[in-house]
Structure 1
């Protein structure tokens, strides 16, 4: 895991990054600015249980591509989940919580993941481990109203104007942050590369 100090506010942005693109950078920039983060960890997962493992580029390639894109020194590219031997977010967050007490973590995700968040293993545990910031993505703006996660934790949603103090709140708590959106997606980039 990247080095952190007690009292820091750190965003956790996990994903396959297969491949990483400027849409990921835009989410990172919005999260850094609106959440007041000291760091944002791009947690490049070795595998995603909800996606085709055969479609994943090798981890080393994805890490190198992320390093080239993530030029802001506050963005820390890491693949420590491979060392943990898990690709389940709930287990990863448990590990982080135990290993890094005194650090204020926020789970950061694109709104495109909100629609299927209830399919993640122990998704309700994830929502009660750290505050969550959902960053708007094209075609996903309404998912924060209709997703199972949004409906289940509707009582825990705070206004995006309070995003800067999200780290001070006890989970479950989440916010939906609107802002500039990129139409880029890893799926579309892979499809274009296959043509």
Structure 2
């Protein structure tokens, strides 16, 4: 059975921290692949700054050097607000011989009980919580925990740096070039 990690997010923009997290989980749990799932319309946020197409292009640029890291456009196909349960249900139907591991930040583990259809979701996938050094998540029954080194980068800080005219840290050259070429996050 194939073992695939699912890493959902807005990825606005995607950065080296996303790469480090995915590679850490991939190697720690000996997964075959990790599929990044950019949200089309995140239900928990006001909205992305970059368009869905721009975020998808940046994500493909970020992942271009590691064949084990792929992009799934399933939430773009589903349109509307993205709920993990609906996405996972469809993936399980399309890939019945795949064991899915859903990756979340360690800080999100304590919020799992509030997720939409969480009990049904737990029957479909294995949750993986990623702890960064210096942060300790609340342990939830049935969540595998993986530890990784701190990567001091965030999408919101990158957007802020660009808006304020500073050179952002944590982007690959190809993603930074795309952002500059398309004048993203400047206003």
Normalised by the size of structure 1, how large is the TM-score? 0.75
Structure 2's unaligned 5+ residue stretches are 165-187
- 1:191 Cα offset (Å): 2.4
Question: Structure 2 vs 1, CA of residues 137 and 188 (structure 1 numbering), >3 Å: closer, same or farther?
Answer: farther
SS at match of 1:143: coil
1:51 equivalent among 40, 45, 49: 45
Give the CA deviation at 1:106.
Answer: 0.9
* Alpha-carbon offset, residue 131 of structure 1: 0.7
Task: Give, in whole Å, the separation in 2 of the partners of 1:124 and 1:193.
Answer: 41
Question: In the alignment, what sits opposite 1:11?
Answer: 5
Q: How many residues align?
A: 162
Deviation at 1:134, TM superposition (A): 1.0
Residue matched to 1:132: 127
1:79 matched residue in structure 2: 73
Q: State yes or no: 1:63 paired with 2:56.
A: yes
Say whether residues 1:32 and 2:1 are aligned partners.
no
Q: Is the 8 A contact 1:138 1:182 kept in 2?
A: no
Distance 1:193 1:138 in 2: 27
Q: How do 1:40-189 residues align onto structure 2 when only pairs under 5 Å count?
A: 40-53=34-47, 55-70=48-63, 71-86=65-80, 87-137=82-132, 141-145=135-139, 150=140, 153=141, 173-189=142-158
Q: Indicate how the Cα distance of structure 1 residues 126 and 183 shifts in structure 2: closer, same or farther if over 3 A, else same.
A: farther
Deviation of 1:177 after TM superposition, in Å, equals: 0.8
Structure 1 residue matching 2:132: 3-state secondary structure? coil
| TM-score when normalising by structure 2 | 0.78
- Note the C-alpha offset of 1:76: 0.6
Given the superposition, is the C-alpha separation of residues 138 and 56 from structure 1 closer, same or farther in structure 2, using an over 3 Å criterion? farther
Q: Kindly state the Cα deviation for residue 96 of structure 1 after the two structures are TM-superposed.
A: 1.0
RMSD of aligned residue pairs (Cα, Å): 1.8
SS of 2:42's equivalent? Answer: coil
Please say if residues 63 and 78 of structure 1, whose CA atoms lie closer than 8 Å, have aligned partners that are also in contact: no
**Pair 113,56 (structure 1): closer, same or farther in 2 beyond 3 Å:** farther
